[in-house]
Amino acid sequence: MKRVDRDRKRVDRDRKRVDRERKRVDRERKRVDRERKWVDRERKRVDRERKMVDRERKMVDRERKMVKHERKMVDHELKMVDRESKRVDRERKIMNGRLMTNIGKYSFVNRIIQLWNRLPAEILGTLSCKSNAFRKRVRKVINVVN
């Protein structure tokens, strides 16, 4: 009987040990699962941030290209002709760029160049004077046209 009791006690101890080990393994699995979930969340967050940075970088690149293109167009369109104009009424004239698309032909810069070239010679003669005199003469012409 003593032997059987001893064996039962040993089996009970072994069961308890196995149960403790199972609990420890379960805790470890849960910890590992939590860490995996955390790592997955971090990866997703980092991926979202990368995508946002890439989008912003693309937008900045597009804006830079647009600004560069606009600068080229303005530089090209606003060249002053140093030689005398073929027109009789004045010496200074701004050349329009040769553009193929309607967007370029009717852009703000081209419309302003056309208006500038239509101004009478008397107004442009005041360019070396004060700006107020120039403004007054331009206003007079605008009022007469309207």
Phi, psi of 94 (to 5 degrees): -100, 135
pTM, two decimal places:
0.39
Partner residues linked to 80 by β-bridges = 94
Give the range among 16-20, 44-48, 66-70, 131-135 with minimum mean pLDDT.
131-135
Give percent above pLDDT 70 in the chain: 75
Q: Tell me: the pLDDT tens digits for 42-86?
A: 999 999 999 999 999 999 999 999 888 887 777 665 554 434 445
Who wins on pLDDT, 6 or 53? 53
